[in-house]
């Protein structure tokens, strides 16, 4: 497959960003490869209604 990109004039005015977070990237420039992944977990099991016991510690599984 042949893929040609022509970058003409780029003039941007004002950028206003509230927040960049959790391994996100805000890039003014060129890049060859961008590989970003995110795992966000809030399943129903994450809502624990019960006595306040510590979460399982390492090696106690």
Partner 1 sequence: MKRTSMVEYFHGETFIISSVLQIGDSREITSRSRVLAVQRQYELFFGSEGEGIFPTFTMPIPKLQANRNRISVQTLHQSPIISVRSIRVLAASTSAVVHIGSTSTVNAEARIKHIRQLAPNFSASSMKNTQTPTPIVKDEK
Cα separation, 22 vs 37, whole angstroms: 10
Q: CA-CA-CA-CA torsion for 24, 28, 32, 33, nearest 10 degrees?
A: 10
Residue 41: CB minimum distance to partner 1, A: 4
**Cβ(25)–Cβ(36) below 8 Å:** yes
Instruction: Give the shortest CB-59-to-partner 1 separation in angstroms.
Output: 9
Residues 1-60 that bind partner 1 (CB under 8 A): 1-42, 46-58
Least separation in angstroms between residue 53's CB and partner 1 is 6
> Given the rule CB under 8 A, which residues bind partner 1?
1-42, 46-58, 61
């Amino acid at each position: 497959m042949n893929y040609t990109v022509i970058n003409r004039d780029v003039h941007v005015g004002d950028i206003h960003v509230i927040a960049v977070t959790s391994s996100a990237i805000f890039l003014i420039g060129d890049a060859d490869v961008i590989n970003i992944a995110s795992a966000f977990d809030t399943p129903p099991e994450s809502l624990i209604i019960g006595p306040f016991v510590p979460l399982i510690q390492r090696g106690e599984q």
